[in-house]
Structure 1
Amino acid sequence: MASLNILMAQINTLVGDFEGNTQRVVDIVKRAEAEHSSPVIVFPELTLSGYPPEDLLLRPSIELRVKQSLQTLCAQLKGDAWAVIGYPRTEAGALYNVAGVVHRGEIVAEYRKQRLPNYQVFDEKRYFSTGSGPCVIDIQGVKVGLSICEDIWEAGPTADTAAAGAELLLNLNSSPYHRGKRNERWERVAERARGAGFPIVYVNQVGGQDELVFDGGSFAVTAAGEVAAAAPNFEEGEYWLHYQAQDKAAPFAGLKVFPPLDEMEATWRALVLGVRDYVNKNHFNGVVLGLSGGIDSALTLAVAVDALGPERVEAVMMPFRYTSQMSVEDAAEQSDILGVSHKVISIEPIYEAFMQSLAEEFAGTTPDTTEENLQARCRGVLLMSISNKKGSLVLTTGNKSEMAVGYSTLYGDMAGGFDVLKDVPKTLVFDLCRYRNTLGPCIPQRVIDRPPSAELAPDQKDEDSLPPYDVLDQILEMYVEQDMSAEAIIAAGMDRDQVQRVLRLVDINEYKRRQAPIGVRITKRGFGRDRRYPITSGWRIGD
């Protein structure tokens, strides 16, 4: 009876670290060989380079680095293991996204990715040439086909692999997270398995890479499309499957099906993982953020502490004449609950010094948002100075709703290196705060209950200048994430004046978003890689 011991290597790679990623492969393969005879170890897409390598793929030395890594693998992996590894490969001047099989010190098979995604965060057609034809290799008496990520989202490559005689498909992935993604994967891979009539093993990487978060969740489905085994999300690990070719109904054993996470928990873990990997992979000592006593900075602090631990997080309250005593108290309370370093630095003298220097320029004018923005910029200067001195990353605290409509200050509250909530709508901010409090005391209830305010003017409330957030977020979701026009949004039941105002704000604030720090992507359409609109444009507002 033909059988295979398959290891799903759900690993966290580092983009550009060919030596480190290659050594990870060697170590995992050798551990697998010590546990089972002739194991099959399946790694994620572009394991050796990390994903996405972006314009590193255009560097002249890329071919040499890949060659050196493959030479190392062939020299180190002389045993009976079958290591299925992703890497970029240049042939005849063309670069391919490749899945190769290393066995007994040789590359015994290679598959070139046929479907190159060029939408949302993907732009693989910028770098790779299109592969053609299936790849089927005999492994221990089992005819095994190979495919890579996007190949599984279209029927053609899987059908071609079945026609070439494959009995089992191994699919290598670097599939980023967004809310609801796991169910989408399960449904699509099940559809392919039923259509091709063979089981599929889907291996995905885990970890944060700039704004992208990869959530793992590797799994296997039967030929009938039933999910037979599934690894946990957001956790690195090496997960064994025992495959029996003759058992059509239940070909996989050895790993249970870890159930899908609740959507709120998945979102939380994505934010935490994104922050942790960005800070650690870029070698920051820790993070510092302005803790205002408001809900956005409260949530950002909670994510930071869960990601890094309280000893690597510093919270700075920077009060001004408009800061309420409630804000001062709530910031101190949350810092105490979480055990983080908490400092209070007034911006009053800094603001007055700026105003004195600007007195002649401002003569004859009345106060407006200029003075409000100056407060935010005083705070930005303080945080960036602490960052420079201590080697800490400044976390900004703006949410997606604010970023969409420009409710933020360039070189003020936007000054920093990473925006944890950049893709989190304001209404979801409230939900995440409530969720985090179910895990243990964290965010004072008063912070959640009070009306949101930037506290840059007396008795200021966000809804003085913005629609209610539940309305605003509905409009933004339809316009930003669903690409609906103004008329379509109005037809869906939204107020015409509010729609036209919000859409105008989104369009004219592209210049701000271009200068904003990156942040964790959790939706299908975030600001940044997903949405690239011109700043200078004659496009009619809201089309």
Structure 2
Amino acid sequence: MTDKLTIALAQMNQRVGDLPSNAAAMLEMRRRATGADLLMCPELQLTGYPPEDLILKPEFVRRVHECTDELVAATTEPGPAMLIGTVIAEGSAVYNAFILAQGGKVIGRTLKRELPNYGTFDEKRVFTPGPLPEPIDYMGAKLGVPICEDIWQEVVCAHLADAGAEILLVPNGSPYELDKDETRYHLVRSRTIQTGLPIVYLNRVGGQDELVFDGSSFVIHPDGERVVQFCDWNEELIVTDWERTVEGWRCMTRESHIVDTFPEDVYQAMIVGLRDYVGRNGFPGVILGLSGGIDSALSAAIAVDALGPDKVCGVMLPSKYTSEESLADARECARLLGCRHDVVSIAPAVTAVAEMLPEMSALAAENVQARLRMVALMALSNSGGQMLLTTGNKSEMSVGYATLYGDMAGGYSVLKDAYKTTVFALSKWRNHKRPEGALGPDGPVMPERVITKPPSAELRPDQKDEDSLPPYSVLDRVLEGLVDKELSVREVAAATGADVALVADIETKLLRAEYKRRQAPPGVKIGNRNFGRDRRYPISNFFHTGPK
């Protein structure tokens, strides 16, 4: 029985479905962890997370088994034993699993018992729940390995503690959300108190479609002390030293990083999400409509910070309603960011459509402008290969204040889950601080006037957003109640002080716009209820919570 253990903890990025690259990255971490007894990687690190319906494809599962066998065989080479997150199929059952490999053999395993089936998670769709796991004996230490959701329920950790586990090693695929760091810490602390055991909470980093993983892994002792805190957003390998004391196993390593708080955490999530989405889908860069408004200015800043100014092209597409102020603001945004700035007037195309359809309504005439802008942007995207970045925010998308096949068109949206008030907060913050790792400039990234002027779509004379919508400070509080908290109209009115009739009208707009949102591009999830897999409402829906 040993009284000392050295556990290397690898906070890693991933590529879903890229088994060879993920395996090679784990073996590289093993090489770097020379001298450690054990290397631990995040949940399903071999397959990437979430693998979704790839798990339903027998050929995928077969290749995962082959790659797992190769990783196990690689542990015959000098180096630490490996805790490998993988998939195990037995008969018709497929499990989310962790195996402990040493000397070319599997010497222990855990099958995930608690399968999340809420929000963005669909694990019950593709996996079979495992039995209550037993501790794995390694070098005389009994290691409990509850996998991600296993720690969110009391039963698994309690069972492992009762079965004699001495350390809980928790591999995770936990996506970023606002305030998630504190939620995780309080949850894990409650498990340490419940079990009396130290816990390693190991998470991953990087973007996967709409999800962003922030890392922020940590080690906590039963007294609640967080003795090791990883960085957020970046890959990191920390080798931790453990000793058996009279109180049980304790981590002797001390390391601390300050994790980002609002609004920097949201901004970093957007950078990571866009960077990995563009890179993994093979785009050479992005193109976007740069209107002189705050949404496009912030989207451009995030794109430059994520990809670099040479991979971002902003295009101003003026009509006869575009103000000189907007032309100047768009030009200045591009100058401050150092990115390309083109101007393509849509006026000739607007005239041509008006001649072709002389009896179209005023609303249709407004929407034609938005759609012609997207025709031009998509033509430029096709010509150069850049992905079209959509710039709409969550407030607009909530109430349908967006044009289908117009400003909603594109390949990705960094602002999709950001309410307008969050857009203002992010813009003000970025104008005064350059985030760590950003590829954009120091100093302001947009003129101050872009932040202070009243928002406008500029599709008709003297148009302002508040002609059609309540002030965003009111609208966003109502939407947070209706969308994020799923409150009724009367409950939202009571909580916000807004008029019941106003809240009911906003709810009606919210429900009527569902068909538009189903056709919107993916975008970075930052809250607990994004428009996508978090919130699955029927398009044809006749239930309202407002007054009858």
Q: Given the two structures, how large is their TM-score scaled by the length of structure 1?
A: 0.96
Partner of 1:450: 453
Does the aligned pair in 2 maintain the 1:80–1:104 contact within 8 Å?
A: no
Name the SS of the counterpart of 1:99 in structure 2: strand
* Deviation, structure 1 residue 401: 0.2
Q: Which residue of 1 aligns with 2:30?
A: 29
Deviation at 1:224, TM superposition (A): 1.7
| Residue 481 in structure 1 maps to residue 479 in structure 2 | no
Please tell me whether the aligned partners of residues 33 and 79 of structure 2 are also in contact (alpha carbons under 8 angstroms).
no
The one-letter amino acid of 2:452's match is D
CA contact (8 A) 1:275 1:420 kept: yes
The match for 1:52 is 50
CA drift at 1:283: 1.0
Give the 5 Å matches for 1:79-478.
Answer: 79-246=78-245, 248=247, 251-359=250-358, 362=359, 367-439=361-433, 440-478=443-481
Secondary structure of the equivalent of 2:263? helix
1:534 maps to 538
Which deviations, in whole Å up to 9, do the C-alpha atoms of 1:201-249 show, x marking residues without a partner? Answer: 0110100000000000111000222211110111111122111121749
Give SS of 2:86's match: strand
Counterpart amino acid of 2:203?
N
Deviations 1:49-87 (A, max 9, x none): 100111111112122111111121122221351211111
Q: 1:93 to 1:249 in 2, by over 3 A?
A: closer
Using the TM superposition, give the Cα deviation of residue 92 of structure 1 relative to its aligned residue in structure 2, in angstroms. 2.1
Q: What is the Cα deviation at residue 473 of structure 1?
A: 0.3
Checking the alignment, whether the CA contact within 8 Å between 1:229 and 1:253 is kept in structure 2 is no
Cα shift readout 1:131-159 (whole Å, capped 9, x = no counterpart): 11223122222211111001111111001
Task: Report if the CA contact (8 A) 1:42-1:83 is conserved.
Answer: yes
Do the aligned residues in 1 keep the contact of 2:410 with 2:521 (CA within 8 Å)?
Answer: yes
SS at 2:165 equivalent? coil
> SS of the counterpart of 2:291?
coil
> Cα distance, 1:357 vs. partner?
2.0
> Is contact 2:393–2:420 with CA below 8 Å preserved after alignment?
yes
| Aligned equivalents of 1:416, 1:121: Cα separation in 2 | 22
- The AA in structure 2 aligned to 1:42 is M
CA separation of 1:106 and 1:542: change in aligned 2, threshold 3 A: farther
Structure 2: gaps (5+ residues): 434-442
2:316–2:330 Cα contact (<8 Å) kept: yes
Give the number of aligned pairs: 535
Assess if the C-alpha contact under 8 Å between 1:114 and 1:151 holds in 2: yes
Equivalent AA in structure 1 for residue 135 of structure 2 = V
- Aligned residues of 1:222 and 1:249 also touching (Cα < 8 A): no
Please list the CA deviations of residues 408-435 of structure 1 after superposition, one character each: whole Å capped at 9, or x if unmatched: 0011101100011000000010000011
Q: Gaps (5+ residues) in structure 1?
A: none
**Preserved CA contact (<8 Å) 1:109 1:135:** no
Identity %: 47
Does the C-alpha gap of structure 1 residues 48 and 333 become closer, same or farther in structure 2, counting only changes over 3 Å? same
Moved over 6 A (4+): none
Q: Are 2:488 and 2:545, in contact at CA under 8 Å, matched by a contact in 1?
A: no
**Higher mean Cα deviation, 125-134 or 165-174?**
125-134
Deviations 1:88-113 (A, max 9, x none): 21112101110111111111111011
Using the size of structure 2 for normalisation, the TM-score is 0.96
CA RMSD of aligned residues (A): 1.4
Instruction: Work out whether residues 389 and 411 of structure 2, in 8 Å CA contact, stay in contact via their aligned partners in 1.
Output: yes
